[in-house]
């Protein structure tokens, strides 16, 4: 039996406690630490070098996608399994692109999560059924050209009411680059203006309205 050393990253203490209690019932799992935000997860990953990190996505200080990217850059041998409640393209694609080994949802059963952890620890890609269905759907309908991570960032800011100058300032790019991104976005979504782009993106689950 190979012991799998785990780090739990989630900003909700109740979730962390519940996961720790559940995981420690398995003889091949050892929870070596907990982090309440992405930055803490990054520091603990570098310090303790767990085999696998269970990573939530929406956390304070540093979000999960940024943490995944930083962890994989510094510790490429650590596997990251996303465990979240969100299954939109706006969440799934950036996480996978950042280097996540798998993507599971918090409504998964215990046995599903156990199997996913063991598989991900071996470096195998594991996806919740609904997540896999979304990704397969994108392959089956290639006419819907995929937006890049940067284009999704721009579109998310547009949805929040940001102007081109606001977006340029937030993303540390020029306004000309913002305009270029918008042109590509319009072309990929088959629209001609910002409002239509946001409407289509929301319908497809590519972005979300901030609450």
Assign domain 149-204 to its CATH architecture.
Answer: Orthogonal Bundle (1.10)
Residues of the chain with CATH 3.40.50.2300: 4-139
Q: CATH second-level architecture of 4-139?
A: 3-Layer(aba) Sandwich (3.40)
Indicate whether 35 pLDDT > 60: yes
pLDDT tens digits, 82-117: 999 988 877 888 898 899 999 999 999 999 999 999
Half-sphere exposure of 170 (CA within 13 A, CB side): 16
Task: List every span in the chain annotated with CATH 1.10.10.10.
Answer: 149-204
78: burial class by Cβ within 10 Å (0-12, 13-18, 19+)?
Answer: buried
pLDDT in tens, 108-156: 999 999 999 999 999 999 999 888 877 766 655 555 678 899 999 999 9
pLDDT per position as a tens digit, 1-19: 689 999 999 999 999 999 9
Token pair of 54 as six digits: 């269970």
CA 59 → CA 11, 37, 66, 84, 167, distances in Å?
6, 5, 10, 11, 22
pTM of the full structure: 0.69
Q: What is the pLDDT of residue 205?
A: 84
């Amino acid at each position: 039996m190979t012991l799998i050393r785990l780090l739990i990253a989630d900003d909700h203490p109740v979730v962390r406690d519940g996961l720790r209690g559940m995981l420690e019932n398995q003889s091949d799992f050892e929870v070596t630490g907990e982090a309440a935000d992405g930055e803490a997860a990054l520091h603990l990953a570098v310090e303790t070098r767990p085999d696998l990190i269970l990573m939530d996505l929406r956390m304070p200080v540093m979000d999960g996608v940024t943490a995944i990217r930083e962890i994989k850059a510094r510790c490429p041998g650590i596997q990251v399994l996303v465990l979240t409640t969100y299954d939109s393209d706006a969440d799934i694609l950036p996480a996978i692109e950042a280097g996540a080994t798998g993507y599971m949802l918090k409504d998964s059963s215990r046995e599903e999560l156990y199997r996913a952890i063991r598989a991900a620890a071996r470096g195998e890609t594991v996806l919740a059924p609904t997540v896999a269905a979304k990704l397969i759907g994108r392959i089956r309908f290639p006419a819907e050209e995929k937006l890049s991570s940067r284009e999704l960032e721009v579109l998310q800011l547009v949805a929040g009411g940001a102007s081109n100058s606001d977006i340029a300032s937030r993303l540390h790019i020029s306004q000309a680059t913002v305009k270029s991104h918008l042109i590509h976005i319009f072309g990929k979504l088959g629209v001609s203006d910002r409002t239509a782009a946001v409407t289509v993106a929301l319908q497809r689950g590519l972005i979300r309205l901030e609450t």
